[in-house]
Structure 1
Amino acid sequence: MIEPPDPVHRGSPEPPETRCPALPVPAALGRLLVLATVFVCAACGLVYELEMVALASYLTGDSVTQASVVLSVMVFAMGIGSLLAKRLRCRAAVGFGALEAVLALVGGFSAMALYACYAWFGQSRSVLVGFSLAIGMLIGAEVPLLMTLIQRVRRQDAGGAVADLFAADYVGALVGGLAFPFLLLPVLGQVSGVLLTGSVNAVAGGGLVLWLFREDLSVRARWALIATNVLVLALLAIGTALVSPFERAARDAVYGSAARIAVRTGVQEVVITGGTDPAATGRARTTRDPVGSAGRGTAQRGRPVPGEGGVAAGKAGGPLGLYLDGRLRASADGSVPYHEALVHPAMAGGPHRRILVLGGGDGLAAREVLRCPGVTSVTIVELDPGVARLARTDPGLSALNGHALDDPRVRVVAGDVFEWLRRGGADARNGGPYDVVIADLPDPGSTASTKLYSQEFYGLAARALAADGRLAVHAGEPASRPLPFWTVDATVRAAGLRTVPYRVPGRFPARTGVPERSCGTARAATGRPACGWGFLLAARRAPRLDLSPDAPALRSLTREGLHSAARAAARTRLPGLPPSTLMHPRHLD
């Protein structure tokens, strides 16, 4: 009979802690406790990972790039951590306890550090990579140490130990992956959620070592681990207590001191700066009142962001600015030239009784539409009902849009514009087909907007048009970002429409470090960002770029200026670009 090989090769020294395991519980229960700790640590590790991806995506708007950076760097670092942990196997209990304390501290404060670097220094990519490396190495070092500890509890073949360990690890990752979007993020927010995760991580790792393997620790090592874990938990508790003032200070650093409303709906973070006289309101408005139940999901309704107390502190003076996930969506300074250029060329050249606005929940496009005579109905399809609710109830924003959403001709539909079009939302039962369709959507070039600038989307939009209908598209800034702009043009034409591009000048950023939809990444000759708005006017037959004779008096747009805008766009043309599709998005740059 052939005897199975020993788990440890003859002649090789065993780690000192594996020779005489002294456990306060039976081996079966001890093994279960180790696997339970693996489960908790895996859940915490995935929360750290998802938190970095989510926060980086909120700050930059490009979730694909951020997820790729975080995941690839963390997996690479986990391999390095596993190799480095081989040196700690001889003191696995002490090593694991110290490792979890450091991981809890680094992971717990990762969100606060990333947001601070973005708010005060205007960049977070290098910090994101640094935290991904550190957290990945610490997570990778867990596996060899846990393998050693589980073998000390009850010796078994390596294959069985690996199977048990990985089963607990993967199930824990599942729980952590589901807890982050459905529990931690909506209830606690990014910063508080990850601080709580760090506390759970420290308690699980420290508790396992200090109780189950307490007899294997020297007195000095035991007290060192106790002091370390107490210090880590105290720091995490202090961080949790300071979340609200930290986020208010960071918000002021990003938006200046004028942030008046900050709220996270079920879709995005919405911040309104300025726009009302502080003396008129008496105090900063709470964020729960204007949004109410507009958020998607019960737990997420009206939760203030970044602050957690329901009040967005800050001065309310200055021109109004509407920021969605940190990017300027609309402002009192730029609203008139942008929306006049988007709306009025499309309203010329044919009937304009029935109007469809895709996006535009701020009511500013509807404001310009309603200024035109002959409009009988306006349908606005907005993904985030919280934005539409603020557009009705916030005094500054509702004044800026001329109370357009209170007009009886206006109907607001909450939903994804792509799915609304695909499911027949623009058919005759819902007021279609439309004389004019206005796509007032987020900038092209971000992952979130991929399907809204695809050939499939424009095919659906074309179906919503009447026979002589026109489509107006905001397509980005052609002077500094010509590739996305002309890719959108090629995509619209691939959907069977003829296009006329034009560009109107924008304004320079009012706040450094805050992305504005009017500005790209390139620099003009002055060294300042090249700022402007690029649009496409599309129809089944070649549209004529003009203004209607019965158009209202416009403050920023003239016929001559419109023709100059067409020449300005033509100078940036990139011919021969393929269209962007759902399966092959091409406008990301």
Structure 2
Amino acid sequence: MGRDAGGTAPAVLRRGWSAHLPTILLASCMFFTGAAGLVSEYILSTVSTYILGNSIEQFSVIIALMLLMMGLAGYLQRYLSDRHLLDKFILVESSLALLAGFAPLAIYASFGYLNSHFRLIQYFFVISIGLLIGFEIPLVLRINQRYVKNLGANLASTYAFDYVGSFVGALVWTYVLLRTFPITEISFIIAGVNFAIAAVTFAYFLSRGLITYRRLTLAAVLVTVAALVYGYAQNRDWSQLLEQRFYRDPVVFSELTRYQQLALTHSSSANDYRFFINGNLQFSSVDEAIYHEHLVHPVMSLVPDRRRVLVLGGGDGLALRELLKYPRVETVTLVDIDPAIIRVATTHPVLNMLNEDAFADARVSAQPSPGVTASGERAILQQVPKRGYAGGDVPLEPVGRVEVFTVDADRFLGEVGGAWNAVVIDLPDPSSIELSKLYSREFYGKVRRVLTPGGMVALQATSPYHAKESFLAINRTLQAAGFQTLPYHDNVPSFGDWGWILAWYDAPETEIRGKLASLRSFSVPTRYLTPEVVRQALVFGKGRLETERTDISTLMYPRLLDYYRYESWRGERRAP
């Protein structure tokens, strides 16, 4: 009797395992489809943000449209018969894998080659992928009904694994994929992993004789696998080829960081290097001195104490280059959210040449000090001998040092104590919600709190001509934060008429204007700027500083974002 029991128990276990294997495979499919579905939504939204900007709008509209399509698919599946459900599921997964894998490249290509039809192609992928994702859960529920007769248990295993998979997918997307792979590669990885599980499920049901159209579904599986493998192998070359369509001059460097797309182009005829972030021009080597000298030298000529300077943004090192000309500068603290820009500015030969080795000055080393961190995001750069110094010991002269924090500027001001004599704000234009918070009254209030008595701020403030309302809104917001302001502008050929603002809080405007009027020369060499040019920059044309608008930009109501998006570089059209 004992022998009989011992012999039948494994058989019972095997039968139990075999009976539950279809449900386990289908639950695994739902886990991975849940993860892949959510990541696909993120990918489409991110690609659209890279191309069009405004992340909130892109994520909101695209995810909402995909959810609408998922709901529509949930309704339409009622018209699918119960015949050949496994075949239908495999065809849905094959179609979804192909569309999701190639979507970023196709959308990218459409913007470069078929710009007038870009929206049509973009929303074709959004709608198609959303619709196919919407068919997954109903099909799995109906297939699993054969193996789990209890409706509650069927719903529990299907929906639970789908939602848990979505949660895991969001974590993997945020903390692994974005930090490791380009977006065009992520799409193939996600599509491939998801389809691999579906293929294993297909193989199981095929071995059980439950697939009706064996040749058709097998062909679909093999074609999908081949296409995904080939796409993954070629995606970086294709991306590089497509990227060139976005730029007039040849791309000599490109990198997709965790935060943004970096690109450097070169015109051999003009010997002009241009640096772009997310397709937006940051500087031209031909005229960047106009911009950076205006940003740095007026404020450095006005502050009574230059020992401690804070730079917010400016990771390309060009503003740092100008600041390090002043021998009395003891400490420059540079804050840029993207460590990749610091690395590229330090190591890329062109940027290194343009910023004159600003990160490898006698006072600076581009190698982060081990063990010195602040919330894991601070890197202090140590003093090193000047390049070419042939002596034994480093000369014991008073030198400054540069501290680099790769952290959000708003977070830096809120968490790191300190006081600075001058603050130079060299941030990208307020083209997104993430950037517009760095132009808010709350942000400027934090800047004011870190200024020493007599300290001043200089910031770039977009174009007073092409983005007049944005320029004036920045000025009003500074004033609302307790600053007095003095706007100025000049023509930067690459940008057009460009504006900057000086801000301070403890001196009358007449005193600042008087200092600029009496300025005879700068104490450091410049390529473009003279005191006469600075005084001329204070003069604006009739009505250029006048507006009926009185609102300011705050953290909860970033009015500046609307001005910049809807009224900038569009002539003088008034907002409705």
TM-score category (smaller protein):
0.7 to 0.9
Runs of 4+ aligned residues of structure 1 deviating over 6 Å after TM superposition are none
Query: Structure 1 residue 361 and structure 2 residue 334: aligned?
Result: no
Instruction: Using the TM superposition, give the Cα deviation of residue 441 of structure 1 relative to its aligned residue in structure 2, in angstroms.
Output: 0.8
**Matched AA of 1:144:** P
CA 1:569–1:394 in 2, change beyond 3 Å: closer, same or farther? farther
* Residue equivalent to 1:336: 289
Percentage of pairs with the same residue: 32
**What secondary structure, in the 3-state scheme, does the structure 1 residue paired with 2:145 have?**
helix
* Residue equivalent to 1:203: 196
* Residue equivalent to 2:104: 111
TM-score by length of 2: 0.79
**What secondary structure, in the 3-state scheme, does the structure 2 residue paired with 1:348 have?**
helix
**What secondary structure, in the 3-state scheme, does the structure 1 residue paired with 2:121 have?**
helix
* Residue equivalent to 2:455: 469
**Matched AA of 1:433:** W
* Residue equivalent to 1:587: 560
Q: Give me the whole-angstrom Cα distance separating, in 2, the residues matched to 1:265 and 1:569.
A: 43
8 A contact 1:502–1:568 mirrored in 2: no
8 A contact 2:293–2:526 mirrored in 1: no
Q: Give me the whole-angstrom Cα distance separating, in 1, the residues matched to 2:470 and 2:119.
A: 23
* Residue equivalent to 1:142: 136
* Residue equivalent to 2:37: 45
* Residue equivalent to 2:420: 433
* Residue equivalent to 1:272: 264
Query: Structure 1 residue 549 and structure 2 residue 503: aligned?
Result: no
**What secondary structure, in the 3-state scheme, does the structure 1 residue paired with 2:466 have?**
coil
Matches within 5 A, 1:287-366: 318-354=271-307, 355-366=309-320
8 A contact 2:520–2:531 mirrored in 1: no
**What secondary structure, in the 3-state scheme, does the structure 2 residue paired with 1:260 have?**
strand
Q: Give me the whole-angstrom Cα distance separating, in 2, the residues matched to 1:316 and 1:244.
A: 28
Query: Structure 1 residue 400 and structure 2 residue 349: aligned?
Result: no
Matches within 5 A, 1:157-306: 157=151, 159-212=152-205, 215-218=209-212, 221-256=213-248, 258-274=250-266
Query: Structure 1 residue 378 and structure 2 residue 332: aligned?
Result: yes
1:408-430 superposed Cα distances (whole Å, 9 cap, x missing partner): 234132232222222234x2xxx
Instruction: Using the TM superposition, give the Cα deviation of residue 80 of structure 1 relative to its aligned residue in structure 2, in angstroms.
Output: 1.4
8 A contact 2:333–2:405 mirrored in 1: no
Q: CA RMSD in A?
A: 2.8
1:231-265 superposed Cα distances (whole Å, 9 cap, x missing partner): 11111112122123212212322335632232344
**What secondary structure, in the 3-state scheme, does the structure 2 residue paired with 1:90 have?**
coil
**Larger deviation: 62-71 or 207-216?**
207-216
Consecutive unaligned residues in structure 1, runs of 5 or more: 1-22, 276-314, 509-517, 519-530
CA 1:34–1:375 in 2, change beyond 3 Å: closer, same or farther? closer
Q: Give me the whole-angstrom Cα distance separating, in 1, the residues matched to 2:203 and 2:349.
A: 57
8 A contact 1:482–1:573 mirrored in 2: no
8 A contact 1:43–1:172 mirrored in 2: yes
1:123-146 superposed Cα distances (whole Å, 9 cap, x missing partner): 854433221111111111112211
Q: Give me the whole-angstrom Cα distance separating, in 2, the residues matched to 1:249 and 1:114.
A: 14
* Residue equivalent to 1:19: none
CA 1:407–1:258 in 2, change beyond 3 Å: closer, same or farther? farther
* Residue equivalent to 1:80: 72
CA 1:393–1:183 in 2, change beyond 3 Å: closer, same or farther? closer
**What secondary structure, in the 3-state scheme, does the structure 1 residue paired with 2:247 have?**
helix
* Residue equivalent to 1:513: none
**Matched AA of 2:493:** R
1:297-327 superposed Cα distances (whole Å, 9 cap, x missing partner): xxxxxxxxxxxxxxxxxx9993222223332
Q: Give me the whole-angstrom Cα distance separating, in 2, the residues matched to 1:316 and 1:460.
A: 45
Q: Give me the whole-angstrom Cα distance separating, in 2, the residues matched to 1:206 and 1:87.
A: 25
* Residue equivalent to 2:368: none
CA 1:274–1:569 in 2, change beyond 3 Å: closer, same or farther? farther
TM-score by length of 1: 0.78
8 A contact 2:23–2:147 mirrored in 1: yes
